[in-house]
Amino acid sequence: MADGWRKNLIDLEPYVPGEQRSVPGLVKLNTNENPYPPSPQVLYAVRNFDAASLRKYPNPTGEALRTAIGARYGVSPDCVFVGNGSDEVLAFAFRAVFNGSLPVLFPDITYSFYPVWCRFFGIPFETVPLDGDFRIAAYEYERPNGGIVLCNPNAPTGIGEGQEFVEYLLKTSPDSVVIVDEAYGDFGGWSAVGLTGTYENLLVCRTLSKSYSLAGLRVGYLVGSREAIAAVTAVKDCVNSYTMSNLAVEAAIVALKDEAYFQANLERVLRTRYQTMNRLRALGFTVLDSQANFIFVSHPDAPAQALYEYLGARNILVRWFAGPRVRDFLRISIGMDADMETLLAAIEAYLKEKTV
């Protein structure tokens, strides 16, 4: 049979997500999911959702959700874009605003989807090395560029930057769009959304996956100037006008309204994060100061890959990256207290075996 059609198949290096394993007793700490369920009000809304409404297309712009997000931040709904998780939202944003000949800049150690999107859309890019403490050096971005992407707090390090840092990037690159990806922003306590009314070249991306426990619902959004949001919307409408389901919109609105549950959920994750960081440091680990719902750790006597495999064999999933600057570290999501106790017990057992 003829096989000439194979030469037309696309050749890509896609993003590689964290391992998904279905086994009893699994301790899953590798994909930064929230260990606690969504708001009870969300569960009620899902159970009582009018399934008959699924026969109709959803509102193409997610108008009700955009209005709710706008009310939360005090911005017009026209300054809000919503989509199926922050990954889709960021992909549309990359295509909409990074169209120049100069390279887009982002750190060499950051969310690994950024170079995937750049290659997919044919966007020139350059990575800027983090410093020796895994911090972003703002002055390194003060050069001609076609845009800047800042994951804040950064992944996989968990280190966050403040308002002065973000404004420095915006002021030194006034002719470029700066995208601030705040997928973990709620765990750090500061958001750049408040700057979108001052800087028209700023787009802030957020998600309900982590802090709102809705990773399975797929809800992400952008806040920015009307002009930038209109450009992203145009890109979306060239791909799929109806990206958000009626169920996702309704549940997301309910989640945003339950502020009390949201804050209590955050506090539980943060408390466990601090406790786990202190316990690991007592075991001799280097633990970067995290402002996310995960921690980035290294131990001089525990090679990261070996520890990753040891834990995996015991159905404890964490994330290991093979990159040259991070191969000595593990990224560990914050789970329930019982999950973290299981993890710590396994790590202690590994360290004891190494010293015997």
Read off the pLDDT of residues 103-136 as tens digits, 9 standing for 90 and up.
999 999 999 999 999 999 999 999 999 999 999 9
Residue 1: what pLDDT? 56
How far, in Å, CA of 31 to CA of 168, rounded?
Answer: 31
- pTM (two decimals): 0.94
Ranges of H-type helices in the chain: 40-47, 63-73, 85-97, 113-121, 163-172, 226-239, 246-257, 259-282, 304-313, 337-355
Q: What is the DSSP letter of 302?
A: B
pLDDT at residue 90 above 60?
yes
Q: What is the mean pLDDT of the chain?
A: 95
- In sequence order, what are the residues at sequence separation of 6 or more whose Cβ sits closer than 8 angstroms to the Cβ of residue 37? 43, 213
pLDDT given at position 11: 84
Q: Across residues 197-217, what is the average pLDDT? A: 97
| Residues of the chain above pLDDT 90, percent | 90
In this prediction, residue 356 has a pLDDT band, given cuts at 50, 70 and 90, of low
The pLDDT assigned to 323 comes to 87
- Please answer whether residues 77 and 66 qualify as being in contact, where contact means their C-beta atoms are separated by less than 8 angstroms: yes
- Give the model's pLDDT for residue 12: 81
| Banded pLDDT at 57 (limits 50, 70, 90) | very high
- Domains of the chain with CATH codes: 19-38+260-355 (3.90.1150.10), 40-257 (3.40.640.10)
- pLDDT at residue number 156: 96
Residue 12 vs residue 266, higher pLDDT: 266
pLDDT over 70 (residue 242): yes
| Dihedral over Cα of 229, 230, 233, 234: its sign | negative
Q: How many CB atoms lie within 10 A of CB 16?
A: 10
Chain segment 134-175, per-residue pLDDT in tens:
999 999 999 999 999 999 999 999 999 999 999 999 999 999
Q: Residues 128, 149: contact at Cβ < 8 Å?
A: no
Which has more pLDDT, 203 or 242?
203
Q: Could you count the other beta carbons within 10 Å of the beta carbon of residue 237?
A: 14
